[in-house]
Amino acid sequence: MNFGIYIYKNAEVLDFSGPFEVLSTANRLGNKDWNIFLVSENQGVTQARGGYPINSHFSFEDHPEIDVLIVVGGIHTEEVKKSNVTTWVAKVAENSMKVASVCTGAFILAEAGLLDGLTVTTHWEDLSDLMTDYPQLNVVSDQRWVPQGKYITSGGISAGIDMTLHLVSELANLTLAKETAKQMEYNWQKNTQPSV
Amino acid sequence: MNFGIYIYKNAEVLDFSGPFEVLSTANRLGNKDWNIFLVSENQGVTQARGGYPINSHFSFEDHPEIDVLIVVGGIHTEEVKKSNVTTWVAKVAENSMKVASVCTGAFILAEAGLLDGLTVTTHWEDLSDLMTDYPQLNVVSDQRWVPQGKYITSGGISAGIDMTLHLVSELANLTLAKETAKQMEYNWQKNTQPSV
């Protein structure tokens, strides 16, 4: 199974490194044959938020098929304006079995027209903007992650870790998800946001 | 203030990306003038655990002075054998105000001779090895992080996030640490490990 995590300039660091850690740890512990990779628009170094110099494994041009697409948040405002990005996301989503967003990655999925009519969530600071910008979405604030069939959106930053543990429970099993959390010494937070 | 995070081949992804996220978020929210960077032995791409392609900002040869050194875990067994690494860590530690380890980064600090006589912790899976390999350390299992003056060690992987929030509370203030956790939607786990 191929997991593609989309990164871009000023993507939030934990939004992609958290899910990568969860998936690669689950892959190791569960002896899965999962292929987990980062995808960026172009090749070379991407400066994630705070000047974090991350390389991708693949660009839009050369990535393998993606079964599970994860679109992360950060300074998403430039991303939603790029028609090549939203077109790519929509095209990959069409052929994938699961599409997830972390944090404000929900804006990118929404702009790509993938979330119409669905119940979704995002970072607590951006809930009202998501409601205003995409009134066809049902935006909720009390869920850590919101599964909607093929689509799943999560709250801000660290909520991506919790959502990805849920993906592990769905795509493998609950035991492996719990073992992964234990290996990460992570207190898996389910379906409620911390008191913020 | 300069924060240097030491990374290496097969370093655990969340061990360095978690503290980077915490420090860069605190830096932004608190309008600090913190300089947060990754340091590797050599220039170029480092393959962190699971094949995560991270660049460093600096190598051993060209990094600025480091006020706060964070040494991360992962597959540390090769690192402790490299005398140039432990020599570098010991030398940087000598001139820094704070030295922290995440997860099995404690083995690297111990090998550099920095933890003798101190109370320390590491990943739950490696506690007995740390006791056996370095009998001059007082290894404890019931703490999320253990401050010992200039030195501080933390439990496994996600515990580095909690420890770094503690560093923010020490180096700035508790309010900023709490605001950072809120921004990350992270449930700051203090001084107790999750039930693993």
A39 domain residue, yes or no: yes
ipTM of the complex: 0.96
Q: Largest Cα–Cα distance of chain A, in whole Å?
A: 44
Alpha helices for B50-112 (secondary structure H): 83-95, 105-111
User: Which of A159, A185, A187, A186 is closest to B182 using CA atoms?
Assistant: A159
pLDDT number for residue B185: 95
Give the nearest partner residue to B14 out of A18, A55, A194, using CB atoms: A18
What is the nearest CA distance from A111 to chain B, expressed in angstroms? Answer: 24
pLDDT (average), residues A59-80: 97
Total count of domains within chain B: 1
What is the nearest CA distance from B3 to chain A, expressed in angstroms? Answer: 13
B39 domain residue, yes or no: yes
Residue B193 has pLDDT above 80, yes or no: no
A41 domain residue, yes or no: yes
A100 domain residue, yes or no: yes
Q: Is the dihedral of CA B14, A85, B182, B36 positive or negative?
A: positive
Contact A161, A144 (CB under 8 A): no
- Rounded to two decimals, what is the model's pTM? 0.96
What tens digit of pLDDT does each residue of A100-117 get?
A: 999 999 999 999 999 999
* Rounded distance between C-alpha atoms, residue A185 and residue A132, angstroms: 38
What is the nearest CA distance from B46 to chain A, expressed in angstroms? Answer: 10
pLDDT number for residue A192: 59
Residue A196 has pLDDT above 50, yes or no: no
Please name the residues in contact with A21: beta carbons below 8 A apart, sequence gap of 6 or more: A161, A184, B12, B13, B14, B17, B50, B157
* Rounded distance between C-alpha atoms, residue A186 and residue A178, angstroms: 9
Give the 3-state secondary structure of residue A164.
Answer: helix
Phi, psi angle pair for A140, to nearest 5°:
-120, 155
Neighbours of A175 (CB within 10 A): 12
pLDDT number for residue A142: 87
pLDDT number for residue B149: 95
| Whole-number percent of chain A with pLDDT over 70 | 97
Mutate to test the interface with B, among A14, A121, A165, A189 (most CBs of B within 10 A): A14
User: Which of B159, B156, B18 is closest to A158 using CA atoms?
Assistant: B18
Tell me which residue range forms the domain holding A162. Answer: 2-183
B38 domain residue, yes or no: yes
pLDDT number for residue A195: 42
pLDDT (average), residues A132-145: 96
B194 domain residue, yes or no: no
Quick one: pLDDT band at residue A191, thresholds 50, 70, 90?
low
Residues in chain B: 196
Neighbours of B195 (CB within 10 A): 6
Give the nearest partner residue to B189 out of A124, A161, A187, using CB atoms: A187
Please name the residues in contact with A175: beta carbons below 8 A apart, sequence gap of 6 or more: none
Does residue A58 sit at the B interface (CB-CB below 8 Å)?
no
B36 domain residue, yes or no: yes
Amino acid identity at B133? D
Residue B41 has pLDDT above 90, yes or no: yes
Phi, psi angle pair for B153, to nearest 5°:
-120, 155
- Cβ pairs A/B, distance under 8 A: 126
* Rounded distance between C-alpha atoms, residue B133 and residue B136, angstroms: 9
CA atoms within 13 A on the CB side of B44: 4
Q: Please judge whether B53 and A54 are an interchain contact, meaning their C-beta atoms are less than 8 angstroms apart.
A: yes
What tens digit of pLDDT does each residue of B105-147 get?
A: 999 999 999 999 999 999 999 999 999 999 999 999 989 999 9
A83 domain residue, yes or no: yes
Does residue B189 sit at the A interface (CB-CB below 8 Å)?
yes
Residue A181 has pLDDT above 90, yes or no: yes
Neighbours of A90 (CB within 10 A): 15
CA atoms within 13 A on the CB side of B158: 29
Residue of A nearest to B187 (CA): A194
Pick the range with the lowest mean pLDDT from A148-152, B42-46, B168-172.
Answer: B42-46
Residue B61 has pLDDT above 50, yes or no: yes
pLDDT number for residue B142: 87
Does residue A74 sit at the B interface (CB-CB below 8 Å)?
no
Pick the range with the lowest mean pLDDT from A183-192, B56-65, B94-103, B146-155.
Answer: A183-192
Pick the range with the lowest mean pLDDT from A54-68, A177-191, B14-28, B100-114.
Answer: A177-191
pLDDT number for residue B190: 84
What average pLDDT does chain B have? 95
Q: Please judge whether B52 and A182 are an interchain contact, meaning their C-beta atoms are less than 8 angstroms apart.
A: no
User: Which of B137, B144, B102 is closest to B120 using CA atoms?
Assistant: B137
Q: What is the CATH number of the domain that holds A98?
A: 3.40.50.880
